[in-house]
Each structure stands twice: as structure tokens, then as C-alpha cells.
Amino acid sequence: MLKQTICNHIVSLTEVRTPQAYVCEECVKTGSSWVHLRTCQTCGITLCCDSSPNKHATKHFHRTGHPVVASAEPGERWLWCYVDEQMVSY
């Protein structure tokens, strides 16, 4: 049996969602700041990374189960699957 090299959550994406906004939508609501941005590949919301004080992207995953985010940083082209803890460049 072949070992799976890319998780099914990432393989099943038909296209990579681009950020709808270049701000963390949750941080804006609370007046907080962020370090880097991530875009949920299920619903398209843009949220902050785990280096940010509020870690909204990870909280979104735990709350919704949406498994894959993409970097929303200019020039970065990678996806992260929270379920399989796997990063894939595209």
C-alpha cells in the first residue's frame, strides 16, 4: 500500500481561496492586532496566525472544523491542514 503524501483535505480543494480582506476580521472587531494572516479554504474568512495574540485562525478551526487555511501574506503560496498537521506549497 502506498503512503499518502498529501492529506485528503488539501487534495479535495478545487481552487485556493484568496483573501477577501487583508485584515484579521476578528481582530478588527475587537480592536486587536495581528502578525500574519490566513484564509480559511472552506468559508473564505481571513484570520490571524498562531504568532498573533489571539490565534483566530486556529480558534476558527476548533470552532467550525474547517480544516485548511492558506497563507494570506503577499508572495507566500502554501496551505496548512490542521487535521493532518501538514503544509503544502502550491
pLDDT tens for 3-36 read: 557 899 999 899 999 998 899 999 999 999 999 9
CATH of the domain at 28: 3.30.40.10
pLDDT over 70 for what percent of the chain?
94
Query: Which residue range(s) make up the domain with 66?
Result: 16-89
- Provide the pLDDT for residue 4: 55
Section 52-61 average pLDDT: 98
Helix (H/G/I), strand (E/B), else coil: 66: coil
On whether residue 42 sits in a domain, the answer given is yes
Cα gap 69→18, rounded to integer Å: 10
* Residue closest to 50 by CA, chosen among 41, 60, 42: 60
Determine the Cα angle at 87 with ends 39 and 79, to 5°: 25
Q: How many domains does the chain have?
A: 1
In a domain, 40, yes or no: yes
pTM of the model: 0.91
The amino acid occupying position 67 is: P
pLDDT at residue 49 greater than cutoff 50:
yes
**Residue 35, in any domain of the structure:** yes
